[in-house]
């Protein structure tokens, strides 16, 4: 079935679901192509998509807490890191699927193979801006294409930087 890498609840939380955004990169000239968030889906096995759905439901609570400046627990932060792993690797694999003729590497793992498997860090910056929106950065680089270990996610006025790598804290 189809997996929304940027989940429906997050799309609705940040604006109109059918708005167009630069969601993929043409690697021949590094230009972006715009797609509707509501159609930004990728194939996923039904079992995996069900597991991701459960993770999404739990992550939604944590994201809303972060947007409202509410405290989150250590367990909620760990769950958030699992979710951000899912989004980061999903964007990477999604780019591979959208641009099969422009792939420089062949992925040898799936989203479920990377959730919670590496040392991870997340950094948050909250601004006073009241504008709604969603975006991500860092995924259009060659470095990300070869090693999808760092990216930024913007949810309304919450800026998130995520890093995941072997031996990050060793």
Distance CA 15, CA 31 (A): 24
What DSSP element (H or E) covers 50?
A: helix 46-67
Q: How many CA atoms lie within 13 A of 135 on its CB side?
A: 13
Q: pLDDT tier at 15 (50, 70, 90 boundaries)?
A: confident
**pTM of the predicted structure, to 2 decimals:** 0.87
DSSP state of 148: -
pLDDT at 125: 96
Helix (H, G, I), strand (E, B) or coil at 26: strand
What integer pLDDT is reported at residue 78 of this predicted model?
Answer: 96
φ, ψ of residue 37 in degrees (nearest 5):
-55, -35
23-37, 45-59, 84-98, 102-116: range with lowest mean pLDDT: 23-37
Kindly report which listed range (112-116, 139-143, 146-150) carries the lowest average pLDDT score. 139-143
**Mean pLDDT across 8-16:** 88
* 120/117 Cα distance (integer angstroms): 9
The tokens of 73 are what?
Answer: 């627990």
90 burial via Cβ count (<10 Å: 0-12, 13-18, 19+): buried
**In which band, very low, low, confident or very high, does the pLDDT at 120 lie, cut at 50, 70 and 90?**
very high
Confidence of residue 51 (pLDDT cuts 50, 70, 90): confident
pLDDT band at 139 (very low <50, low <70, confident <90, very high): confident
pLDDT at position 26 over 70: no
Instruction: Calculate the average pLDDT of the chain.
Output: 85
């Amino acid at each position: 079935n189809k997996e929304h890498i940027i989940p429906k609840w997050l799309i609705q939380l940040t604006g109109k679901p059918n708005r167009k955004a630069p969601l993929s990169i043409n690697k021949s000239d590094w230009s972006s192509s715009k797609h509707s968030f509501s159609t930004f889906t990728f194939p996923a096995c039904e079992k995996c998509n069900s597991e991701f759905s459960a993770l999404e439901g739990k992550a939604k609570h944590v994201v809303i807490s972060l947007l409202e400046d509410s405290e989150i627990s250590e367990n909620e932060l760990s769950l958030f890191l699992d979710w951000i792993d899912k989004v980061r690797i999903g964007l990477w694999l999604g780019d591979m699927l959208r641009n099969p003729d422009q792939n420089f590497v062949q992925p040898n793992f799936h989203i479920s193979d990377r959730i919670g498997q590496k040392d991870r860090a997340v950094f948050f910056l909250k601004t006073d801006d009241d504008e709604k929106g969603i975006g991500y950065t860092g995924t259009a680089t060659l470095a990300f294409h070869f090693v999808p270990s760092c990216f930024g996610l913007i949810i309304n006025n919450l800026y998130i930087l995520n890093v995941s790598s072997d031996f990050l804290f060793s």
